[in-house]
Amino acid sequence: MVVMAILTVLCAILFPVFAAARGAADRAVCISNLHTLTSGTHLYADDYDDRLMPVNQNPGATNSTSRNDRTWVQNLLPYVNSFSVFRCPADHTPRPSPETTYDQDLVPGDTDSQYYTASLRSNYGYNSQNLAPITLEGGRWAAQPRSFSQIAEPSKTLLFVESAWQYLADREPTGGGNWLVVPPCRYYAGSHVDSFTGQAGGRVPVFTTALGWTGTQSGIKADFEGGGMADPQLYGNAWPWHNGHMNAARSDGSVKYLNPAQLGQGCDVQEAWRGAIFDRTIYMWDIN
């Protein structure tokens, strides 16, 4: 009984240590993945006149498959050499396997076509609304990828952040990550200029996975401080996989450890993009 008691005490002491060590290791791998993705993005831009990856090759396509479309993940894959870098090791949720495209959808001679479905579950969401918006023009969706030279402050501007696909009733995420993340605000305060398109005045239709975040700034703060987790769309599909925090890569290649509320700094977070950007110096989503 004495031996069992000693073992119980040792387990109580060591298990949290092991869990912390594993968490630190997962975070280190995640940071390495983000550095690889950022470096790959710069290599991609070198080959495409300084342009970033489009979200889709054929935006708005119906019944999209590898035969008529390609995601930014697939476009970036040749520059990072392994599909594994798109997965955060802290995410143990079930998801489609990398080889998920039906045989009839495979493109002869295109080894990356098999990743189409799995690419949508990347744990690193792309800040596409500001870096590669898709707008509706003349009844057709048009991809508008920005160039690195258009980014005024690369050390501030968000490129990738960890993400989640959806959540279950028990408030746990499932399905892997989300290939796109959505900014909390869209228009600049006072000017009504659209941070996505740079245009003033009317709202231009854009392709998006969500109309902004689903909570207010005070609600997000309360949710985080209370230790709860909610719908990933509360943070625009971004998700804190590491002890309530997430890793975010800037356009210059730097990686920052953030809590979800920090993603909304510099803007008045309201549902459906109703809040305005009031401080561009700390708002990390736009390119201006």
Taking only the tens place, the pLDDT of each residue in 117-128 is 889 999 999 999
Q: Is residue 229 part of a domain?
A: yes
Burial 1-21 (b: 16+ CB within 10 A, else e): eeeeeeeeeeeeeeeeeeeee
Half-sphere exposure (Cβ direction) of 273: Cα atoms closer than 13 Å: 18
Residues 145, 53: contact at Cβ < 8 Å? yes
Q: Is residue 94 part of a domain?
A: yes
Above 80 in pLDDT, residue 184?
yes
Q: Which of 2-11, 86-95, 204-213 has the lowest mean pLDDT?
A: 2-11
Residue 196 bridge partners (DSSP):
none
d(CA 67, CA 81): 22
Q: Is residue 78 part of a domain?
A: yes
For residue 75, which of 108, 96, 48, 106 has the smallest C-alpha distance? Answer: 48
95 versus 255: which is more confidently predicted?
A: 255
User: pTM to 2 decimals?
Assistant: 0.84
Identity of residue 55: V
User: What is the enclosing helix (H) or strand (E) of 3?
Assistant: helix 2-47
pLDDT of residue 230: 54
Q: Is residue 286 part of a domain?
A: no
Max mean pLDDT range (9-18, 35-44, 264-273): 35-44
What's the structural domain count of the chain? 1
Q: Is residue 283 part of a domain?
A: no
Q: Is residue 216 part of a domain?
A: yes
pLDDT of residue 258: 94
Q: Going by C-beta distance under 8 Å and a sequence separation of 6 or more, which residues neighbour residue 167? A: 173, 174, 229, 230, 231, 232
Q: What is the mean pLDDT of the chain?
A: 83
Q: Is residue 284 part of a domain?
A: no
- Helices then strands, counting H and E runs in the chain, come out as 5, 10
Give the domain extent around 179: 2-277
Q: Is residue 268 part of a domain?
A: yes
d(CA 38, CA 189): 30
pLDDT of residue 146: 96
